[in-house]
Amino acid sequence: MIQPFNCVDEYYISPERTVLTGQQLHIPGVRMLAWHTARHALSALPWHYHRNAFEFSLLMEGSLAFSTRERTYPFSGGEVLVSWPDEVHSSEGSPLNFGELYWFQLDISSPEKFLFLEEEAARKLMGQLYGLPHHVIRLKDKETGQLLKNAFSLAATGSDPAAPASCLVTFLHMLLLSAKKDAPRLTPDIESSLTYIREHLSRRLPLDTLAASCGLSVSRYKKKFRDQMGISPRNYINREKIQASRKLLLSGLSVTETAMRMGFDTSSYFANVFRRYMALSPTEYVISCKNGDRDTPSAGEKTLSQTTSKPTNWQYGHSAKKEEIPQGDTFMAIRPKRRKYGSK
């Protein structure tokens, strides 16, 4: 697999694609808000992630398929795809076929003034987003999707930032309600297993022990866990361990101390698992967080225009002639000359 990169979107406007960044939005916590319409299949997205940011993609019509390290998630019109902060994902091997797409990224680095909310409300919302049960969520009604469309329209026309922010907050709360409605019902044994895992993350948590506690064989436990959680038990355990280890590393613990605290046999194994989930080594992660520069690409970061040397139909919104659109896995090349924000 090609080395994933931290994807940083840039301001762009065309008849078929508009990307607004923090410089245009002025909404605390919203890194970007975008819209795209397509009439033809687009080149695949390479493996990438978004440092410290959730990404929510609402497909109005058409179909898409995005992959994480764990599995591929197809989704269609009326559904929202959620990618977690620093989660590596792509559409490698799957061309993008859709009619209209809205998406935005939420930087969860700080709850201060997040979406113009009080800090307590911001922290609560962040916690609820981390608790979303799965990657693909079907919205309860069309009105919920309209909220995101309204947020984009208000932002694109230069409205008071509080107006699109209010739409986004309401959209997120409606998304949480939709997720709760669609959340799979867990059987008591798997629910108990999840509780045990969360309460004993510092232990090794071998699968045979977890399976035995549920009265299941390892193979049956793995299948039942994946069927209900959409992820393998080992992947779930590692994801939770890495999430907890991030806090320990940033608190000042060394890589070795963190590895031992989180139940890894060796620091090298911990570093390998950490890199698999974060696309950075533990040391690189700490350095990147201390730098605190979330907007300017640094080592391991790229803007979409830096991923290849040829323009594609994804970038130009089909403004190029059909025969000029390259095939394959090229994606987002040298951007055309920027238009002035708000110009036609």
Output the pLDDT for position 334: 24
* H or E element in which residue 16 lies: none
Output the pLDDT for position 279: 65
Residues of the chain under the 70 pLDDT cut = 1-2, 39-44, 63, 92-98, 182-185, 230-231, 278-279, 292-344
Both tokens of residue 181? 């409605």
- Summarised one tens digit per residue, pLDDT across range 38-55 is 765 566 678 888 999 999
Beta bridge partners of 121: none
Q: Name the nearest CA neighbour of 149 among 101, 114, 83.
A: 101
Output the pLDDT for position 9: 87
Output the pLDDT for position 77: 84
- Summarised one tens digit per residue, pLDDT across range 318-328 is 222 222 222 22
Q: List the domain boundaries for the chain.
A: 5-183+308-324, 188-291
CB 43 within 8 A of CB 95: yes
- The DSSP code sequence of 23-66 is HHH--TTEEEEEEEE-SS-BPPPPSEE-TTEEEEEEEEEEEEEE
Output the pLDDT for position 331: 27
Q: Name the nearest CA neighbour of 34 among 292, 337, 314.
A: 314
Give the separation between CA 278 and CA 258, rounded to whole angstroms: 15
- What is the domain class of 188-291 according to CATH? mainly alpha
The angle subtended at Cα 58 by Cα 79 and Cα 131, nearest 5°, is 70
CB 234 within 8 A of CB 207: yes
Give the separation between CA 91 and CA 101, rounded to whole angstroms: 15
How many Cβ atoms are within 10 Å of 74's Cβ, its own excluded?
Answer: 12
**Taking the domain 5-183+308-324, which CATH number applies?**
2.60.120.280
Predicted TM-score (pTM) of this structure: 0.62
Output the pLDDT for position 155: 97
3-state helix, strand, coil in the chain (%, to 5): 40, 20, 40
CB 303 within 8 A of CB 8: yes
Q: Name the nearest CA neighbour of 87 among 133, 54, 63.
A: 54
Output the pLDDT for position 330: 26
CB 34 within 8 A of CB 103: yes
DSSP 8-state class, residue 115: G
